[in-house]
Chains A and B, each alone.
Chain A
Amino acid sequence: MSCKASGPAAVNPVSAMDYMPIDKLRTIQLERLKFIVKRAYDNVPLFRKRLEERKLTPESIRTLEDIQKLPFTVKADLRDTYPFGLFASPMKEIVRLHASSGTTGKPIVVAYTEEDIRTWSSAMVRSLAGCGIHEGDIAQISFGYGLFTGGLGAHYGFESLGATVIPASGGNTERQIMLMKDFGVTCIACTPSYFLHMSEKAEQMGIDLHDLPLRVGVFGAEPWTDEMRRRIEECSGIKAYDIYGLSEITGPGVGCACEYQDGLHIFEDLFYPEIIDPATGEALPDGQEGELVLTTLKKMAMPMIRYRTRDITKIVTEPCACGRTIRRIARISRRSDDMFIIRGVNVFPSQIETAIMAAESVLPVYQIILTRDHGLDNIEVDIEVNEQIFQDKVAAIEDIKAKIAHSIERTLGIRVVVKMLAPNSIPRSEGKAKRVIDKRKM
């Protein structure tokens, strides 16, 4: 426990909650769980109805484990009650609405009271402090501003921490790089794929990110892998931290990596985590992989009880070297939503990414194309050649192609066509990267 000596006493006071004794943390969580269940029961008709169907009342919650009796909330619940059906506060107390784009039909709407905004900012502040960001840092926020929670969520967090905020939002990459250079930006927040796009563009503009004061990147809003983190760190010389969040719970800042970059600490005094078996809904013990389920313990405007995130992860059982007592989840590199099924095999894009890295030890820009030909599904992986991959000898390129195909085939057990594309031929995204193009007509 040597880390304790330099632990709580030395940390930024904004992070004090992260180091609370576990008994005390569990006591606070139970108190808050009782409170939030009662609040939802009293104010959200759908939740009340579901408890009544199960012959439950708020008084049924006596221990933290009792949470397992409660019904799940799913994304469809937000859609079905669109726009304001799950709000627990009257509109005059709600100071902000966000909405997430639905790929089909109506978006989902989320609401915040003034207190909710403060709570959210405090979670962001704890996230950023854990990444070594501090007062005096100059932060470029290249998450989209607007209905999406990423931009404003990060914005409030950086401001509360005392950083100088540049609300760049997404897009206009050349201007982003100009701002980064001219304003002496030290921190950036955006999606990891957009940062990679920025670093490519910077290179084309003759700017080496290593030469800039840029020190820290806080990346999230899409699943990514450790390989991608290393690639970002190598191409820019910054430290890349993983931040996690979702609008339904609050936005970014539900959890974040600390300086050890080994999983993400969940701010569990605010967001209570469980892992369940996605097929049965059964709670799984810490250490076992499954779907992350979150309960907002303090959200006033829109309490979420046992919200199924669709994110696949596990709760890490070993204590973190940083000394924080709040639990960690493993990096989320896949969502049950991202999964596609091809010839009966469940495939996550991250598996393909890892297989490419295993073959070539560099991560090129890639895209997965699914097609259906005479009823048979085919998978094609398009890979942009880069300096490492391109060789003068045709046979050498063919060898690399075969090696990558073999590595993917070994991982998935399915034949795959690998195609080499010219540089910059796969469209870059300014938000979440589009890894899979499904051209199959269902």
Chain B
Amino acid sequence: MKLKQLSLFLENKPGAINDPCQCLADAGISISTLTLADTKYFGVLRLLIRDWEKAKRILEEKGFVVKLVDVVAIEIDHTPGSLARVLDVFRENGINVEYLYAFPAGLDGRAVIIFCFDDPDEAVRKLSDVPGIVLVGGEALFRE
């Protein structure tokens, strides 16, 4: 139930983010969602892409350093308190969140949040059987 996220190193300067995006555009690859972590001198661009293998190959050919990171997608209702309930489950199970971002398209009218955990395998194991937690796989998320 894990998804592959691509992480790229970027320098903190104008235009740094253009190059990888253009590179994917030229290859006709669509980015499903993304987030940028920034520090004073550099940034880490995180991308969720359906065809991540091709995207990784193309980016590496262009000289980018790309890391593969396991993330977990969880489906929640678009209602107040839905996310808080999921986070409560994390706390009860001792699951630590490194960072999170949204999957903007959602799924069948419900919201999808992408989580990066300390230990994604353990998180998936603990969460699989929790009632009310819906993990989303790549096939469902990236279906046309």
CB distance from B59 to the nearest CB of A (A): 11
Closest to B11 in A: A422
Contacts of B98 in A (CB 8 A): 393
CB distance from A338 to the nearest CB of B (A): 27
Binary contact readout A371-406 vs B (1 if CB under 8 angstroms, 0 otherwise): 000000000000001110011111001100000000
Contacts of A440 in B (CB 8 A): none
Once the chains bind, are B67 and A392 in contact (CB under 8 Å)?
yes
Q: Report if A419-B41 is in contact (Cβ < 8 Å); known contacts: A390-B9, A425-B11.
A: yes
Give residues 89-122 of A contacting B (CB, 8 Å): none
Query: At the interface, yes or no: A423 with Cβ under 8 Å from chain B?
Result: yes
Query: At the interface, yes or no: A63 with Cβ under 8 Å from chain B?
Result: no
Query: At the interface, yes or no: A420 with Cβ under 8 Å from chain B?
Result: yes
The 4 tightest CB contacts between A and B, nearest first, are A392-B7, A392-B69, A390-B65, A385-B9
How far apart are the CA atoms of A385 and B39 in the complex, in Å?
15
Query: At the interface, yes or no: B23 with Cβ under 8 Å from chain A?
Result: no
Query: At the interface, yes or no: A22 with Cβ under 8 Å from chain B?
Result: no
CB distance from B89 to the nearest CB of A (A): 23
Query: At the interface, yes or no: A421 with Cβ under 8 Å from chain B?
Result: yes
Contacts of B52 in A (CB 8 A): none
Which residues of B are at the interface with A, using a C-beta cutoff of 8 A? 5, 7, 9-11, 16, 37, 39, 41-42, 44, 46, 61, 63-65, 67, 69, 98, 116
Once the chains bind, are A392 and B46 in contact (CB under 8 Å)?
yes
Closest to A391 in B: B67
Query: At the interface, yes or no: A424 with Cβ under 8 Å from chain B?
Result: yes
Contacts of A421 in B (CB 8 A): 11
Contacts of A425 in B (CB 8 A): 11
How far apart are the CA atoms of A34 and B46 in the complex, in Å?
72
User: What is the interface of chain B mostly: helix, strand, loop, or mixed?
Assistant: strand
Closest to A418 in B: B41
28 A-B contact pairs sorted by A residue (CB < 8 Å):
A204-B61, A386-B65, A387-B65, A390-B7, A390-B67, A391-B67, A392-B5, A392-B44, A392-B46, A392-B67, A392-B69, A392-B116, A394-B37, A394-B39, A394-B44, A397-B9, A398-B39, A419-B41, A420-B11, A420-B41, A420-B42, A421-B11, A422-B9, A422-B16, A422-B64, A423-B63, A424-B63, A425-B11
Q: Report if A420-B44 is in contact (Cβ < 8 Å); known contacts: A204-B61, A204-B63.
A: no
CB distance from A378 to the nearest CB of B (A): 15
Q: Report if A423-B64 is in contact (Cβ < 8 Å); known contacts: A392-B69, A393-B98.
A: yes
CB distance from B112 to the nearest CB of A (A): 20
Which residues of A are at the interface with B, using a C-beta cutoff of 8 A? 204, 385-387, 390-394, 397-398, 419-425
**B5, B11, B46, B61 — most chain A CB neighbours (10 Å):** B11
How far apart are the CA atoms of A398 and B44 in the complex, in Å?
12
Closest to B46 in A: A392
New A-B contacts (17) at CB < 8 Å, excluding given A385-B9, A387-B65, A392-B116:
A204-B63, A385-B65, A387-B67, A390-B67, A391-B67, A392-B46, A392-B67, A394-B37, A394-B44, A397-B44, A398-B39, A420-B9, A420-B42, A422-B9, A422-B10, A423-B64, A424-B63
How far apart are the CA atoms of A422 and B9 in the complex, in Å?
7
Contacts of A393 in B (CB 8 A): 44, 98
How far apart are the CA atoms of A132 and B7 in the complex, in Å?
44
Contacts of A394 in B (CB 8 A): 37, 39, 44
How far apart are the CA atoms of A27 and B19 in the complex, in Å?
67
Contacts of B16 in A (CB 8 A): 422
CB distance from B51 to the nearest CB of A (A): 20
Contacts of A420 in B (CB 8 A): 9, 11, 41-42
Contacts of B46 in A (CB 8 A): 392
Contacts of B41 in A (CB 8 A): 419-420
CB distance from A425 to the nearest CB of B (A): 7
**B42, B46, B64 — most chain A CB neighbours (10 Å):** B42
How far apart are the CA atoms of A425 and B9 in the complex, in Å?
12
Contacts of A424 in B (CB 8 A): 63
Closest to B43 in A: A394
How far apart are the CA atoms of A387 and B10 in the complex, in Å?
13
Closest to B6 in A: A392
How far apart are the CA atoms of A345 and B56 in the complex, in Å?
45
Closest to B5 in A: A392
How far apart are the CA atoms of A410 and B61 in the complex, in Å?
37
Contacts of A423 in B (CB 8 A): 9, 63-65
Contacts of B5 in A (CB 8 A): 392
Contacts of A204 in B (CB 8 A): 61, 63
